[in-house]
């Protein structure tokens, strides 16, 4: 059973999230465990080609509770796409963690894709155990992401004044572009203690496969698994790739729950 909930960020803003209870009779997973699924940007938790349309129902069928929020500026959440930043996304994730605590959740699994893939790796909480993380086609070289995103577009003084540019019909905020230009994840990410599964296409031009070394160098234990698809492009859209992904994600999560 799935419902749409609102999680308060402040007096004026909220995030909208799909929350689904799994069938607890199907699995030994208890009510204290939650899977939080994070979409990339631009995007939403219900994007047309989103892998989560397949993944979330399959997790629910196995008995897992799932929370799929829309970041502010995305989907039905407060704000406009031009207002999305990595900082606001981190605040939204923290709000999800705080909400989970009110539901007596003590164990969380993060699944995140693209531009948001690194964000859960920044979080540590004394009251919540991060069982494991699954990151899909992670964008780790943020300066490269800017170059791909802009694709030759020059930000003018007029763009800076209005605060955004339009790329493929979506407003991209100048603050986000500045964040991407100045962020160096190799310096920002902490040592990674929780088990980590990475899924990546070797032909990905937005998230080059070679950039995975950034995460490899941060893993403090041997619980790192990387699934690479030789012909895979960004988003791994092929049916065979997605079928393989679903199977391996389920196997990985089951190992640590």
Q: What is the pTM of this model?
A: 0.94
Task: Kindly state the tokens that stand for 1.
Answer: 């059973």
Res. 49: pLDDT tops 80: no
Res. 28: pLDDT tops 60: no
Res. 201: pLDDT tops 70: yes
Going by pLDDT thresholds of 50, 70 and 90, the confidence category of residue 48 is low
Mean pLDDT of the chain: 91
Higher pLDDT, 169 or 101: 101
Q: Mind listing the pLDDT tens digit for each residue in 107-131?
A: 999 999 999 999 999 998 889 999 9
Annotate 84-138 with DSSP letters as a single string. Answer: --HHHHHHHHHHHHHHHHHTT--EEEEEEEGGGTTGGGG---SS-EEEEEEEES-
Question: Rounded mean pLDDT of 235-257?
Answer: 94
Going by pLDDT thresholds of 50, 70 and 90, the confidence category of residue 38 is very high
Going by pLDDT thresholds of 50, 70 and 90, the confidence category of residue 152 is confident
Res. 13: pLDDT tops 90: yes
Higher pLDDT, 2 or 232: 232
Res. 198: pLDDT tops 70: yes
Task: Kindly state the tokens that stand for 219.
Answer: 């893993």
C-alpha–C-alpha distance, residues 126 and 106, integer Å: 10
What pLDDT score was predicted for residue 91? 96
Which residue ranges form the domains of the chain, and what is each CATH number? 2-140+185-255 (3.40.50.1820)
Question: Rounded mean pLDDT of 53-71?
Answer: 93
C-alpha–C-alpha distance, residues 257 and 253, integer Å: 6
Going by pLDDT thresholds of 50, 70 and 90, the confidence category of residue 47 is low
Question: Rounded mean pLDDT of 35-61?
Answer: 86
C-alpha–C-alpha distance, residues 60 and 32, integer Å: 15
Contacts of 248 (CB under 8 A, 6+ apart): 197, 199, 227
- Give CA 57 to chain center in angstroms: 17
Q: Are 35 and 17 in contact (CB under 8 A)?
A: no
């Amino acid at each position: 059973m799935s419902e749409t909930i609102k999680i308060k960020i402040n007096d004026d803003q909220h995030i909208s999230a799909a929350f689904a209870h799994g069938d607890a009779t199907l699995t030994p997973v208890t009510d204290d465990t939650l899977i939080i699924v994070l979409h990339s940007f631009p995007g939403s938790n219900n994007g047309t080609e989103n892998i989560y349309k397949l993944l979330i129902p399959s997790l629910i069928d196995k008995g897992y509770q799932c929370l799929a929020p829309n970041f502010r500026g995305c989907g039905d959440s407060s704000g406009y796409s031009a207002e999305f930043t990595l900082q606001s996304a981190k605040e939204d994730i923290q709000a999800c963690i705080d909400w989970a605590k009110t539901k007596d959740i003590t164990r969380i699994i993060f699944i995140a894709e693209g531009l948001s893939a690194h964000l859960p790796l920044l979080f540590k909480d004394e009251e919540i155990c991060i069982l494991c993380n699954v990151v899909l086609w992670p964008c780790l070289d943020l300066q490269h992401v800017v170059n791909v995103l802009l694709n030759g577009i020059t930000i003018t003084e007029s763009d800076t004044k209005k605060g955004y540019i339009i790329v493929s019909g979506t407003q991209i905020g100048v603050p986000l572009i500045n964040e991407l230009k100045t962020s160096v994840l190799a310096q920002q990410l902490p040592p990674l203690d929780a088990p980590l599964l990475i899924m990546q296409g070797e032909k990905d031009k937005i998230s080059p496969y070679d950039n995975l070394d950034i995460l490899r160098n941060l893993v403090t234990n041997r619980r790192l698994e990387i699934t690479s698809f030789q012909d895979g492009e960004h988003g791994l859209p092929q049916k065979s790739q997605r079928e393989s992904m679903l199977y391996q994600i389920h196997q990985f999560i089951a190992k640590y729950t």
